[in-house]
Chains A and B, each alone.
Chain A
Amino acid sequence: MNRIDKTLKEKDNILSIYFTAGYPHLKSTTEIIKNLVSAGTDMIEIGLPFSDPLADGETIQMSSKIALDNGMSTKILFDQLKGIRNHVDVPLIIMGYFNPIFQFGVEEFCKKCNEIGIDGLIIPDLPIDIYLSKYKLIFEKNRLQNIFLISPQTSDERIDYIDKNSGGFIYVVSSSSITGSTNKFNENSLNYFRRLEKMRLSTPKIIGFGISNNENFSIASKYSQGCIVGSAFIKYLKSNGINSIKIFVDKIKNLN
């Protein structure tokens, strides 16, 4: 069974953490992954940096820019991840915009992911229709689950369509916003979570965007199987470096 499905089957209150590969340092990647896992993170999203991340707020824009200035590239990331499966067993997902993947070659990219033991991809600017008509078979051949996003603006009809065509989980974007822009869920977000709950989707849901503390983590976990934390973690790395990751994870999970 795919590691993502296995984790979703076995666990609740899943904490998934996003970081940008190449930030804060070019060679931080594997150390961050290992530290996240030993701190109790259930799932990890490795951000492939892009020059023009149009769904991201200033924190991830900043980490992406620094990562690229540090020299991070698709090839270097794959080299760094070689052998990572000797150390960690949690689901690993690469999140990146489509252009760098397209330039690398979608088939070649997926093959590399499979060799390394990547379990899934999140490509925010690859719409589901283009994926289904052009790339689905390549993903399947390489045992990669493609994770789709939905937002409060997504119609019920489209949510059903995404539900039917999704593997792993559905990435529920908590509000109409780019990453890192909210600290507290408003009534609209909560209504949207409730609407989703009533839809009884067959694919598990994980909520992301705007999760920066235990309060949001707990609320989101009530309506879904867990949360993705991104910008808040990048901010934490900026002030605290990569050695005290456990403090951050404990805080989100409220274990300290």
Chain B
Amino acid sequence: MSYNVNTKGYYGDFGGAYIPEMLLHNIDELKENYIKIISDDSFQKEFNQLLKDYVGRPSPLYFSKNLSEKYSAKIYLKREDLNHTGAHKINNTIGQIILAKRLKKSRIIAETGAGQHGVATATVCALMGLKCIVYMGATDVKRQAPNVARMKMLGADVIAVTSGSSTLKDATNEAMRDWINNPIDTHYIVGSVVGPHPFPDMVARFQSIISKEIKEQLLAVEGRNYPDYLIACVGGGSNAAGTFYDYLDDERVKIICVEASGKGVNSGKSAATTKLGKTGIIHGSKTLLMQTNDGQITEPYSISAGLDYPGIGPMHANLFTTGRGEFISIDDDEAMSAGLQLSQIEGIIPAIETSHALAVFEHKKFNSNDVIVLNLSGRGEKDLENYIKYFNI
């Protein structure tokens, strides 16, 4: 049994494409072409070249001496925060923009929550000269003004979405509606391992560069190409999918997924999908999601806008139900403390999403010879205002 996607687009019981007929043409076009296009040598050459020269890959695997001492384990940080635009998101948008060009699309749409994926999409559209429209919940447009400004500076149109609850899930609905209305010239760059097949698999493949590099980098410093533990935060789950990808079926490696429990799992203000969710359909995918007993999708909460999604990707839903992955929920306070700690003992200000992953060390005891790789998925500049407000700095 594999924990990766099967030929029908499922991870165990999760995944598939639960989409209206009006989207089928777009999804089928992708499904029939994506593997062929991305396995092509010229695609790989262009992709890898851009990752190297434009994104700045490989990202360092940094041995964190101070965290390792404090928690008595061998802790490595995979520095995705050092990528161009400040997070792992750009790996996926580079891949999808090259794909979109090869599918002869001239117009790009994307959804964004905190704005990181929107910025990464606007960036590659500027690079490739394609028109870019980013859907963003009206609430998030207000909360994330600096990223809205970045997108505009990069030439993108940012559309504030006022339907539903005016946040990420509504922005995603609106992007899908745009795609229904523009079935010929438009490619939708989905930002996470969510949505109908083939998006979860495609995004995971583009992010898998993270685990490929971890393999080589670990071999050089540890003499073996696998860690004992991998740790990553999960909103939709793209940085986690990239971190786990090459190790999914290597059971020597234990997988830890960190989700945001906001003000506490049972506070009514949480995004801890595996604790609170049930199987259902969201954005075209069968997965775990937070919903009422009546099947209405509920609004999640986390201090981190990037973890503020009511579902998780189908790969992660399967990791959870099979027990392959351990899921730990971290609340706002624990995350914020872990973020401040990393800033002050390592001189790295992490994104609040990543701070959730970092808080695992206060939760779980490791052995002193355990080799742990934590994906430092993004940098904290975008969150400065939040940190400052929270700590009253």
Contact = CB atoms under 8 A, between A and B. Distances in A.
Contacts of A57: 177
A125 B18 contact: yes
A52 to B, nearest CB: 5
Contact of B19 (A68, A125, A154): A125
B280 A103 contact: yes
Given A178-B180, A181-B181, A154 B21 contact: yes
B16 interface: yes
B281 A102 contact: yes
B86 to A, nearest CB: 30
Contact of B176 (A50, A54, A74): A54
B133 to A, nearest CB: 16
Interface residues of B, number: 35
B264 interface: no
Given A52-B170, A52-B297, 7 more contacts: A52-B283, A75-B294, A98-B18, A102-B281, A124-B21, A154-B25, A177-B22
A176 B169 CA distance: 23
A54 B177 contact: yes
Interface string A157-177: 010000000000000010011
Interface in B284-306: 284, 291, 293-298
B17 interface: yes
Contact of A99 (B21, B183, B297): B297
Contact of B177 (A75, A151, A178): A178
Contact of A103 (B18, B173, B295): B295
Interface of A: 50-55, 57-58, 61, 65, 68, 73-75, 97-104, 124-127, 130, 148-151, 153-155, 158, 173, 176-178, 181
Contacts of B284: 54, 125
Given A103-B278, A103-B291, A151 B19 contact: no
B180 A177 contact: yes
A60 to B, nearest CB: 11
B22 A173 contact: yes
A73 B163 CA distance: 20
Nearest to A53: B173
Given A50-B296, A103-B294, A176 B180 contact: yes
Interface in B80-100: none
Contacts of B16: 130
Given A100-B295, A126-B18, A149-B20, A177 B181 contact: yes
B186 to A, nearest CB: 11
B18 A100 contact: no
B78 to A, nearest CB: 34
Given A153-B25, A178-B180, A52 B164 contact: yes
Contacts of A176: 22, 180-183
Contacts of B17: 127
A178 B295 contact: no
Nearest to A171: B21
A58 B161 CA distance: 11
Interface string B1-32: 00000000000000011111110111000000
A72 B284 CA distance: 23
A130 to B, nearest CB: 7
A131 to B, nearest CB: 11
A55 B20 contact: yes
A100 B298 CA distance: 12
Contacts of A50: 295-296
B282 interface: yes
B250 to A, nearest CB: 32
Contacts of B278: 103
Pairs A-B, 10 closest by C-beta atoms: A103-B295, A100-B295, A153-B25, A51-B296, A149-B21, A124-B20, A55-B20, A99-B295, A99-B281, A73-B294
Question: Which of B164, B180, B181 has the most C-beta atoms of chain A within 10 angstroms of its own C-beta?
Answer: B180
Contacts of A177: 22, 180-181
Nearest to A72: B294
